[in-house]
Every structure is written in structure tokens, then in C-alpha cells.
Structure 1
């Protein structure tokens, strides 16, 4: 793999996400250690990791369903509330099925 090519799953990650991944790896995946490094609680780090996992999964979905990936990304980044995102995705899927 060329150094210039960024894997698709990394395309939606920002610098803060990459920093978290680096700390996660260097802490051997210990969320407790990462919580200590950031000076936050374990549940806070767990939530951050869950959001990061969602971003990575959205990156995987983007090629197949770019609109759905956009809606999910907006919800994860708290630009759109979760209930509205679910409605938009549901209506989009319904409209595609009716075609």
C-alpha cells in the first residue's frame, strides 16, 4: 500500500480521532489507561471509543450508501439529533424501495 493512499475507513476521521487511536494502541487497548491519560472517567472514554467505531463503520458504508453515511455522520457529530436521523434514513430507504 502506498503511503499516499488513505484507507477508506480513515477518511472520516479527524486529527483528534487519530490521536485517540494512537493513544489507544500505545496503551495496549487499555481504556482505563486512556482514561487516566485524558483525565476523564472510564465511561467517557468508552463513549468516545463507541463514537469512533461508528465513524469507522460509516466509512465502510459510505461507498454503498453515501446519503445514509452522511446522515449517520451528522448524527454522530451531533449536528443532527438521533431521532431525526432515523426518520431521514427510514424515509430514504422507503423511497428507494418504492422505485
Structure 2
């Protein structure tokens, strides 16, 4: 499978998060069943799921963000250096990650 067909939000999940998503799907979305599998409480699993949802939403926002699109357009037009564009987008993305609440 080519990485270009995989959404960026999925590629940014770590191994533990991917395993959690897999287990969630195999449990047919049952938080109660997942809590039993992880030997933890329903609220703990709910919090973990909410954090994953936030992470996906932030990554989706990054993909559609007008600031990132503008920087990429300026780089494509040769108005700013590729390294500068990459650095600015990376730093801006880090600031968006602050929106994820623990």
C-alpha cells in the first residue's frame, strides 16, 4: 500500500494509538468492552478516545489550514525558500498541537 493513499492524520498516530484504534474497531466501538480488554475504567477509555479524536481533528485542520496553504503557495511560486517554508509550517503545526488537551 502506498503512503500517499493513507491520510496524514493516520500516519501521525503512534504504535500505541494505532493498536488502540484497531482494538476499538474489533470491539465494534464498545468502550465497555475495550475497558475490559485494557483492564481499566470506562472513563479512562473515553478520555483516551477523546484525545485521539482531538488529535485527528487538529491534523485535519492542519491539512485545510489557510496559513499552511498560503506558505506552501508562496514556496511554490518561489517567493520564499523551501527550507523557510518547511520551518514555518513545522513551527505553526507545533502550535496547533497545543490545542490537544490532556
- TM band (smaller chain): 0.5 to 0.7
Equivalent position of 2:100 in the other structure = 76
2-structure distance, mates of 1:76, 1:18: 18
Instruction: Kindly name which structure, 1 or 2, has the bigger radius of gyration based on alpha carbons.
Output: 2
How high is the TM-score relative to the length of structure 1? 0.66
Q: Could you list the structure 1 runs, at least 4 aligned residues long, displaced by more than 6 angstroms after superposition.
A: none
Gaps of 5+ in 2: 69-88
How high is the TM-score relative to the length of structure 2? 0.64
Alignment length, in residue pairs? 75
2-structure distance, mates of 1:11, 1:59: 10
Give the deviation of 1:74 after TM superposition. Answer: 4.1
Aligned CA-pair RMSD: 1.9
Gaps of 5+ in 1: 79-99
